[in-house]
Amino acid sequence: MRARAGLVAAALTLLVAGCSAPAPAPQEERTAPLVLPDGYSDPGLEATLVPECGTPEGRAQYNPRRTLNPAGLTRDAAGTPTGPKLDKIREDGLLVVGVSQTTPLLSRRNQATGRMEGYEIDIINRIAAELFGGPLPPDDPRLRLVTMPTGSRLLALDTDKNDVERQKTPELAEVPEVDMVVADVTLTCNRVFTHDVMYSSPYLTTNAGLLTRTGAERRDSLADLYGQKVCAASATTSIADLTAARPNTGIVPVSVPDSSECLMLLQRGLVDAVYTDFPILQGLQLQDPGTALVDLRGQGGGEAGIAMSKDHQDLIRFVNGVLDEMRADGTLVASRNRWFVDEVRAAGLGDPGPPLDLPPVSYID
């Protein structure tokens, strides 16, 4: 009897064991893939230095601040400035200007109206008005603003060195030829050497700034960002500043092709700060009230000028003349204040402080 009960118990045990589900296979550990923009680089990518710009003679020869005096402009009997390039533009009835469409305050396309607006657009409009003898209505076909493909802005100018480059790389044929580029182009020896450009007198002076997410932690300087990622656009003076600051501050510089992408990375939590020219950061902050902006007076920055082919001397003199007039009649300062002070205040971002004064202008002739 006992033996039979044992058998039944054993059979039941076996039955229960057979019925219970097998132990589930352990779930594979997986992590979400990290999606980063094209051209993201950690550590940040610096510009290759042109050797000529490393020597005092080269720096003097390719000095980006060398520009031409508007007084040297020839004028016809009616006092209208003339010259081969200026005559050509008037004859064709077309001034083509390369611009950026993603830098609010400086130059951006208003998606609602489709029109361009900003400090640089004000300057361009004034140049066009002086050139064609009166203010142009919006969408006037005589002024064509062309959005420049990233990484090739200055190749759009008609210079010998650019021609050689265009012949070497057939796909550059699609870069439209423009008369001038007004897209926050910082004056550098590198650019003068590489593209044969000549700048106008500067229309903007900047220093660096730091844009971070708002919060309890103090993030007022690079030193506050030990071990954190700081973003800047590739091959700019800003990324060079960050790389230089790395040993002292312990920051991790990363770069992307466009500073607007730094804001995206900041919003997505993939970087902790953006470091670049203060006016550009003002434009980025306008797009995201959840950020805090620090003006790093005395650090970084530079001067921006209108880039033109050094062969179009009449155009360079003419543009310098227009900028001189704008300085003299106060329109340049008024426009600058309208965009970098009034717009920022109107957006409720507090008082940005006065913009930096423009440097004194000197001409080589």
Partner 1 sequence: MRERFSAYLRRTEGRLALIAALTAVSTIVLGLVGMTVLRDRQALLDDAVDRRGALTSAALDIYRTFADADATSLDAVLVDQQRSPGLQRKFREDIFDAVDALREAASRDAGGSSSERVRRLTDLVPQYVQLVEVGWSASRNNHPVGTSYLSQASSLVRDTILKDADELHDEQIKALTEAQRNASEHAWFTYLLGVVVLFILYRSQRFLFARTRRKVNIGLLAATALTAIAVLWLPIALLVSSGNAEDSIVKREQVVAPLAEARNVGRSADGNEARILIYPSVGDIKALENDLKKIGALIEEARRFAEPGPDRDRVDQAAWALQSWTEIDTALIKTPNEPLTYPETVALVTPPVGDEKSYAEQVDEHLTAAISGYTRSSAESTASARAALNGLDIVFALLMGGAAVAAVAGLWPRIAEYYR
State which amino acid sits at residue 84. Answer: P
Show contacts with partner 1 in window 35-54 (CB under 8 A).
35, 37-38
# chain residues binding partner 1, by CB under 8 A: 44
Examine residue 120 and tell whether it contacts partner 1 (CB under 8 A). Answer: no
Decide whether 100 or 320 has the Cβ nearer to partner 1.
100
Q: Are 230 and 271 in contact (CB under 8 A)?
A: yes
- DSSP symbols for 37-70: -TT-BSSPPPPPPPGGGGSHHHHHHT-TT----G
The correct pick among 29, 91, 139, 351 for binding partner 1 (CB under 8 A) is: 139
Beta bridge partners of 231: 254, 274
Q: Given the rule CB under 8 A, which of 148-156, 222-230, 303-311, 322-330 is the region that contacts partner 1?
A: 148-156
175 counts as binding partner 1 under rule CB under 8 A = yes
The reply on whether position 233 binds partner 1 by CB under 8 A is: no
Please say whether the beta carbons of 206 and 278 come within 8 A: yes
Query: How far apart are alpha carbons 286 and 270 in whole angstroms?
Result: 20
- Is 346 one of the binding residues for partner 1 (CB under 8 A)? no
* DSSP letter (8 states) at residue 302: E
Rule CB under 8 A: say whether 32 interacts with partner 1: yes
CA distances from 91 to 86, 132, 156, 183, 318 (A): 9, 10, 21, 26, 16
By CB under 8 A, is residue 349 in contact with partner 1? no
Distance CA 196, CA 309 (A): 7
Residue (102 or 313) nearer to partner 1, CB: 102
Which of 59, 88, 142, 144 binds partner 1 (CB under 8 A)? It is 144
**Of 103 and 234, which has the nearer Cβ to partner 1?**
103
Contact footprint for partner 1 (CB under 8 A): 32-33, 35, 37-38, 96, 101-104, 108-112, 114, 139, 141, 144, 146-152, 170-177, 258, 260-261, 263-264, 267, 284, 286-288
